Amino acid sequence: MEDVVIRTLEKVELRDPILVEGLPGVGNVGKLAADYLRDKLPTKPLAIIYSKFFPPQVYVGEDGVIRLVSNDLSYWKAPPSAAHDLLVLGGDYQGISPEGQYEITERVLDYCHQLGVREVFTLAGFAQGRVVESPRVLGAATNPRSVEALAKSGVVFSRNDPGGGLIGASGLFLGLGRLFGMEGACLMGETSGYFVDPRSAEAVLRVLGKVLHLEIDLTALEAKAKEIDRIAQKIHEAEQRTSEPTPTPGASPREDLGYIG
Amino acid sequence: MEDVVIRTLEKVELRDPILVEGLPGVGNVGKLAADYLRDKLPTKPLAIIYSKFFPPQVYVGEDGVIRLVSNDLSYWKAPPSAAHDLLVLGGDYQGISPEGQYEITERVLDYCHQLGVREVFTLAGFAQGRVVESPRVLGAATNPRSVEALAKSGVVFSRNDPGGGLIGASGLFLGLGRLFGMEGACLMGETSGYFVDPRSAEAVLRVLGKVLHLEIDLTALEAKAKEIDRIAQKIHEAEQRTSEPTPTPGASPREDLGYIG
Amino acid sequence: MEDVVIRTLEKVELRDPILVEGLPGVGNVGKLAADYLRDKLPTKPLAIIYSKFFPPQVYVGEDGVIRLVSNDLSYWKAPPSAAHDLLVLGGDYQGISPEGQYEITERVLDYCHQLGVREVFTLAGFAQGRVVESPRVLGAATNPRSVEALAKSGVVFSRNDPGGGLIGASGLFLGLGRLFGMEGACLMGETSGYFVDPRSAEAVLRVLGKVLHLEIDLTALEAKAKEIDRIAQKIHEAEQRTSEPTPTPGASPREDLGYIG
Amino acid sequence: MEDVVIRTLEKVELRDPILVEGLPGVGNVGKLAADYLRDKLPTKPLAIIYSKFFPPQVYVGEDGVIRLVSNDLSYWKAPPSAAHDLLVLGGDYQGISPEGQYEITERVLDYCHQLGVREVFTLAGFAQGRVVESPRVLGAATNPRSVEALAKSGVVFSRNDPGGGLIGASGLFLGLGRLFGMEGACLMGETSGYFVDPRSAEAVLRVLGKVLHLEIDLTALEAKAKEIDRIAQKIHEAEQRTSEPTPTPGASPREDLGYIG
C-alpha cells in the first residue's frame, strides 16, 4: 500500500491558508489546542490521513462503530476582512517510527503546499518536570523576523530552552516545511509533563489568537482546566493524608497545597 | 522480493463472497474459530500468502517435510439457496511489525476485493483477565445498521469494551476494508487471556453461524473445550495442593474449583 | 541503494549445480561446514553479496586492509563423471532483520536459479542444550522422497525435532526455494549450543558427502574438533578445581570428565 | 519522500577532490576533527543532506531559529600547487538504523563520485577504555600500498586492533566506497571513550595534515584539549576528596592525578 493515504473529503479553494498542527505529545497540549481550535472556529473536514506508520488499530465508538486511526485536516474559511484561511491538522497519533514521522510529515506538507500553504504553526507542550501555575508560551521559528514578531506577542524565546531541540511532528513540520519554502513557528506551552494540561493549551491558543488576529472563545477550555485542577488537588490531598501522617512542625499545609493547585 | 506474495492455487468464481478472518491472537480464539470453520464447512484451498513481514521460519511436519510460514485463503461454495459464498482466512502469524500488518492486510483485502468480497467478519478473543465460564461475544462494526442487526443475534455492544480499540488484524481488516468500500464486523469471544480457549471460539462460531445462516456442527470444538477444562482443572488442583496445605476454615474447596472449571 | 547487491566475479557455465548454504548460526556448525567445503573441494569465487540488511561494518585484516561484511558464492566444477557442479554460499552474517533475511535469501535464490540451481542443501546446528559426544545429523526436507532418501544415508528424522521449525537462512532457503521450484533439505548437526562445534560440522559434512557422492577429506576438521575438545576439557578441569573442592563421595571424576569430552 | 535528500547550495568544479568524513561517534573524535578542519581551511558550504534515517528533530539556535538535523558537505579549493581539492563531510548524526547508515552513505558517495572523488579519509575515535595521555593514531585502509604509505606518516597498524572491525560511517564510507572504485583509509585517534576528546582529534588532524600535505593550524584545538584536561582534573580531585578520605600510605597523590591528566 502507499505509505501515506490522504482521502480528500471536499474540494476547496483556500485563500493563502496557514496550517496549524497539534498532535498528541507532551501534556497533550498540542492536540488539546488543535482539537479545540477545530471545534470552536468552527472548521469543516477536508481530508483524512491514514498510514502504515500509525499503529495497526481501530477505535470503537460508544455506538459500537469502528474507525481506523488517522490524522485529519479541516479547514476554516476566514471572513473577507482576514488575510488567511486556516487549515488545522489533528489526529490520534504521530508516526510510530522515525522514518514514519518523516514520511507522514512530508506527504501532509506536500498536500498542504498544493493547497497554497506557505506558513505553519505547530502547537506543543514543553515539559518542565514541575507544576506550572501560569504557563508561559515558549517559541522557536524558522527565521529571525518571526522570532521578533512573536516575542512582541508575548512568546518567550529562551537561550537554553528547548535545549535538545524539538523532537517529533512539531519540529518536523517546521524543518521539512522549510524544504517546501514554508516559514513558521512552534508555540510550546509550559506544562509539568505529568498531566494532560488544558491550561497550557489555553495559553498556547491565547498567543495563537493574538498572532493570527483570531477571536477564540476560550471559556470551555478554561472550564476544562479548572476541572483538571480540582482532580489534581484531590489527588494531592489524598497523598498528603497517606504519606504525611505527622506533618513537619512549622510547615504550613496551605503552602504545600499551593504548590500543586 | 514483493512485500506480500499471493499464490493462487485455483481459479474460482464466487457468488458475493464474505470474508471471515481468524488469525493467532488473544486466547487464539480467532484462529481456532477460523480453522474449525475451514475444516467443517468444508472449504477448499484457494491461495497461499507469503510475506517478508512474517518471521523467517519454516515449520517441519511430523513426516519431516518443511512448509514456509504463511496465511491461507480457502473458499466454500454455498448451496444455491444461500446468498453468499465464503472465504476463510487463517494462518500461522499476523505480520510481525506494524507496517507489515498494514501491508499484508491491504494486499489480502485487494485480492479479496477482486474476488467480489464486500463484507468482512473478523474473529478474535477479548481478554478479561479472569476466567470466563460462559463467554459472551462482544462486537464492533463498520456501521450502525450492522451493530443493530448483530445485537439482535446476541452480540454484546459494550460502551466501554474494548476501551483501547482493536489492535492487529481483526481491527485492520475492518478499518482498511472501509477504504475498499467493504462493510463488516468483529466478533470477540470473551476469554481469560491465559489459555488457548476453544470454548470462546465455540461461542464466536455460534454467533457467526446465526448471522450468516450457517449450520456449523460444533461437537468437536465442544469436545476440545472440555479437554482444556479438564487440563485447567488438574493444574488448579495441583496448585491447590502446593500452595494451600492448610485450607482457610470456612472456605469451600468446591467453590474454589468452580472458579476455574 | 539496492537492497541486495550481487557482484559477479566470473561468468561461468555450471552443470545442474546444487547450492550448499552454510551461514553463521547455532554452534556455527553451518558456517564451519560450508567454509570447510569451500576450501577443500576446492571452489573458486563466483560472486560477492552486499546488503543494507547486514550490519554497517567492515572487517580489518591482519594486514590493515578493510573488507565490507558480505556473503559469498563460490563454485566447484565437478569431474565429468559427476552429475552436478556445486555452489557454496558462506559469509559473515545472516540478515539482521526478519525482512532482511527474506530479501537477501530471495535475491540469492533468484541469482542461483538463473545459474540453473534446482536443488538446495542448507547446513545448520541443532542446539541440544547439553554436550553431545557423537552428534547425529537431523534432517528436514521439501518432499517425502527426499526424506526417505536422506534417512537411508543416516539422517535422523525426528517426530518432534525441531519442534519450532527452522528459523533463519537454513529454513528460508528451503521455504522460499520452493517458490522457485527448488527441492532440498536441511542437515542439522546436533550440538550443545555453547561451543563453536567443528565435530558437529564434521558429522554434517560426512552425511553431505554421502548424499552428494563427494569425497571430502575431513582430517583438518577432525583436528580442529580435537583441539576444541582439549580446550573444553581444560575449562572443565579448571571449573572442577574451583567449584568442587570436596568431591561427593562415590562420584567418579572420570565419569564427570567423560560428560564433557 | 526520498530516503536521502541532498540540497546543492553551490555548483562547483573541483580538482580531483578527496573526501574527508567525520561524524559523531566514539569520543566525538571524528566530528571534532572534521568540524575543525572545515572551519580552519576554511571551507565553503556545498550541500546539505537530510534523511528520514536521521532522528525526526530540529535544533533551536540561541536566536530562536530552528534547523532540521542534517549532514553537510563543504569544499576547499586548494592552491594551484596542491594536487587535490577537499570535501569535508560533517553533521549532527549518523543514520539511526543499520539500513539507514547504508542508504545515507551510498547516496553521499554517489554524489561525491559525481564530483570526482576517488579517495576517502574517514576520521574516528578508538575507545581504549582507559585514559590515553598521548593518543596514537590507528589506521585501516582499502589496500596494502595505502597501509604502507600511512605507516610511514606515523599511523599505527595493529594486528589486533580494531578487533571487531569498524562499525558505522567510518567503516562504511570505505567499504561502500570500494564499490564506487574509491580507495581510502580510516584514521582512528585513541581515546578513553569516556570524554569528548579534542586531544585525540588533534592527533588525527596532525596525521591527516601530513598525509594530505596540508598546513592545519591546531592552536585552537590544543586550547580546547587543555580546557577538557582542566575539567577532568577537577572532577578527579573532587572524586578523590569524596571517595578517599584516608589516602593509602605510600601512594603519591601526584601519581594518581597524573593518571587522569
Residue B258 has pLDDT above 70, yes or no: no
Which among C56, C60, C65 has CB closest to D101? Answer: C56
Distances (CA, A) of D167 to A218, C58, D159, D173: 54, 7, 18, 11
CB B158 within 8 A of CB B193: no
Q: Which residue carries 527452522 as its cell?
A: C166
**d(C-alpha B3, C-alpha B95), whole Å:** 11
Which among D66, D96, D97 has CB closest to A140? Answer: D66
Asked whether the beta carbons of residue D147 and residue C67 sit closer than 8 angstroms, the reply is no
Mode of pairing for the β-strands spanning B183-191 and C66-68: unpaired
Asked whether the beta carbons of residue A58 and residue B175 sit closer than 8 angstroms, the reply is yes
- Band (pLDDT 50/70/90 cuts) for residue D261 is very low
Mode of pairing for the β-strands spanning B44-51 and B4-8: antiparallel
Residue A163 has pLDDT above 90, yes or no: no
Residue D39 has pLDDT above 90, yes or no: yes
Position B147 scores a pLDDT of 97
Position A158 scores a pLDDT of 84
- Band (pLDDT 50/70/90 cuts) for residue A244 is low
CB D143 within 8 A of CB D183: yes
Which among B52, B53, B66 has CB closest to C171? Answer: B66
Residue A95 has pLDDT above 50, yes or no: yes
- Band (pLDDT 50/70/90 cuts) for residue D238 is confident
B in contact with D (at least 3 C-beta pairs within 8 A): no
Asked whether the beta carbons of residue B65 and residue C106 sit closer than 8 angstroms, the reply is no
Asked whether the beta carbons of residue A141 and residue D65 sit closer than 8 angstroms, the reply is yes
Give the residue-averaged pLDDT of C205-222. 95
Distance from the C67 Cα atom to the nearest Cα atom in chain D, whole angstroms: 6
**B4-8, B63-67, B242-246 — which is least confidently predicted?**
B242-246
Q: CA nearest C5 in D: which residue?
A: D179
Asked whether the beta carbons of residue C58 and residue D174 sit closer than 8 angstroms, the reply is yes
This prediction has a pTM of 0.90
Which among C107, C159, C171 has CB closest to B58? Answer: C171
Q: CATH top-level class for B4-216? A: alpha beta
Give the residue-averaged pLDDT of D138-156. 96
Which of A54, A66, A92, A97 to mutate against chain B (most B CBs within 10 Å)?
Answer: A66
pLDDT digits (tens, 9 = 90+) for C111-139: 999 999 999 999 999 999 998 889 999 99
The ipTM assigned to this model is: 0.88
Asked whether the beta carbons of residue A60 and residue B165 sit closer than 8 angstroms, the reply is yes
Distance from the D139 Cα atom to the nearest Cα atom in chain C, whole angstroms: 7
Position D258 scores a pLDDT of 25
Residue B229, burial from CB neighbour count under 10 angstroms (0-12, 13-18, 19+): middle
Which of C62, C65, C70, C103 to mutate against chain D (most D CBs within 10 Å)?
Answer: C65
Q: CA nearest A54 in B: which residue?
A: B98
Asked whether the beta carbons of residue C140 and residue B64 sit closer than 8 angstroms, the reply is yes
Position B194 scores a pLDDT of 87
**d(C-alpha C192, C-alpha C190), whole Å:** 7
pLDDT digits (tens, 9 = 90+) for D116-128: 999 999 999 999 9
Residue A240 has pLDDT above 90, yes or no: no
Distance from the D66 Cα atom to the nearest Cα atom in chain A, whole angstroms: 5
- Taking alpha carbons only, the member of A47, A59, A64 closest to residue A92 is A59
Position D247 scores a pLDDT of 45
**3-state SS assignment for residue A233:** helix
Asked whether the beta carbons of residue C1 and residue D107 sit closer than 8 angstroms, the reply is yes
Distance from the C20 Cα atom to the nearest Cα atom in chain B, whole angstroms: 17
Mode of pairing for the β-strands spanning C137-141 and C183-191: antiparallel
Position D251 scores a pLDDT of 40
**A229-243, B52-66, C190-204 — which is least confidently predicted?**
A229-243
Q: Which residue carries 519431516 as its cell?
A: B64
Chain A residue set in contact with D, beta carbons under 8 Å: 95, 98-99, 101-103, 105-107, 139-144, 147, 157, 159, 162, 164-169, 171-172, 174-176, 178-179, 186
Chain C residue set in contact with D, beta carbons under 8 Å: 1, 5, 7, 50, 52-60, 62-69, 96-97, 100
Domain D4-217 has CATH 3.40.50.720: no
- Band (pLDDT 50/70/90 cuts) for residue B260 is very low
The 3-class SS string of chain D reads CCCEEEEECCCCCCCCCEEEECCCCHHHHHHHHHHHHHHHCCCEEEEEEEECCCCCEEEECCCCEEEECCEEEEEECCCCCCCCCEEEEEECCCCCCHHHHHHHHHHHHHHHHHCCCCEEEEEEEEECCCCCCCCCEEEEECCHHHHHHHHHCCCECCCCCCCCCEECHHHHHHHHHHHCCCEEEEEEEEECCCCCCHHHHHHHHHHHHHHHCCCCCCHHHHHHHHHHHHHHHHHHHHHHHHHCCCCCCCCCHHHHHHHHC
